[in-house]
Structure 1
Amino acid sequence: MTKTLPPFNGYNEGHPWYYRLGGPIATPKQIKAEVEAETYRGYLAGDIDAAAEKSEPQRSDALRALRERVLEDLHRDLKRYRQCAKELRRFRRAGEQDDRPLTCNIYLAMSLKSSHLTNGFANLKAIDDALSVQGDLFGF
């Protein structure tokens, strides 16, 4: 089981100060495990519920379309998260301190991408839960 990251100095990985104060970089697996342990359903919960209310085969088609969109977004977010994590590691190894405002640096980028991954994994979980409730018409 992947261990989720506890708050660091009172901040979670979705906050820029978490990284500014030296919090560890969460792996995508840790973020996913944290989402799976919680009840958060993601920002698309309303769209997912609306699609799940449709009758078959529109229901499954709509849920699969949402799933495809979420997977594409998640793939892009994972790629950017890894780039940001690499930059933060380099930044920390060099012992650099960024005195610019938090609105324009790597700490904010990491917190935003962490939040995007959280939403992506939560949306995917909600969609998969909805798809598992009822199969397609005629077993397709």
Structure 2
Amino acid sequence: MKNNSLFNQYEKLKAKYPDVIILIRITDFYHTFCKDAQIVSSLLKLELVNRTAESNTYGVTGFPASKLDKYLKTIVKSGNKVGICDQLHDPKHYPKDLYGRTIYPDAFNSYSPGHPWYYHLRGPIIMPQHIQPENIDNFLDVDVPKDLIKLERLQSKHRADLNKDIKRYLEVAESLDPDDINSCTSMSLKYNHIIYHLSYLKILSLKAGEQTTLFA
């Protein structure tokens, strides 16, 4: 199957086979969405991730291709019919990231860079200068020091911590092994640490009524 939009392909297949659970393989993982994802995650005790696209929220789950035979028996025994879609393209034609690793288009789009599966599915590494706070709502209640000196000290601390996390983020990125879930988890944690410090610094700047440079 061609790798356009993974979710769009799922929707087309589901419209054609509404009574069948659709499993789509990309790299070494099988994915399914929406109601199928709810059924599969419940039967197999897998994580169900909610994603939003074009104002629509849908569930997605997946499992390693190596477990297909085992999981397929469980799904079928529960009375469900299953349709399996395998990829037909040659990975050698895919683009490479900055570290020479293959990027599988659209496979990772169901996850954010803050999730280990994003890296497991060969999502491209985002350079620190391109990382932006995703949502600062959780920081709106931050107690901002009224004393300017204390405020500057707090900002300096977060900048220092941010720079440390950026350094570590780049180190983890260089040694990232997409097939090692622990390595992917470390990468997602470092990304989330950067998001945290950027968000905190942004809300401090907004509440202090001044513009600050997030990257030193």
Given the two structures, how large is their TM-score scaled by the length of structure 1? 0.64
- Bigger fraction of residues in helix: 1
| Cα shift readout 1:3-40 (whole Å, capped 9, x = no counterpart) | xxx992411000001000111111112213xx2xx541
CA contact (8 A) 2:107 2:121 kept: no
CA contact (8 A) 1:41 1:126 kept: no
SS at 1:23 equivalent: coil
For residues 1-140 of structure 1, what are the structure 2 equivalents within 5 Å? 8-32=108-132, 35=133, 38-40=134-136, 45-47=140-142, 49-51=143-145, 54=146, 58=147, 60-88=148-176, 91=177, 97-98=179-180, 102=181, 105-132=182-209
CA RMSD of aligned residues (A): 2.4
CA contact (8 A) 2:158 2:201 kept: yes
Task: Give the distance between the partners of 2:138 and 2:128, measured in 1 at CA.
Answer: 16
- The structure, 1 or 2, with the larger RCO (C-alpha pairs under 8 Å, 6+ apart) is 1
Change beyond 3 A, Cα 1:10–1:42: same
Q: Which moved more, 1:107-116 or 1:61-70?
A: 61-70
| Cα shift readout 1:49-103 (whole Å, capped 9, x = no counterpart) | 342xx3xxx2x12211110110111011001001011112xx46xxxx33xxx3x
Q: Could you list the runs of 5+ residues in structure 2 that have no partner in the other structure?
A: 1-105, 211-216
Calculate percent identity across the aligned residue pairs.
Answer: 35
CA contact (8 A) 1:15 1:108 kept: yes
Q: Could you list the runs of 5+ residues in structure 1 that have no partner in the other structure?
A: 1-5, 134-140
Q: Which protein shows a greater Rg?
A: 2
CA contact (8 A) 2:116 2:184 kept: yes
Number of residue-to-residue matches in the alignment = 105
CA contact (8 A) 2:125 2:173 kept: yes
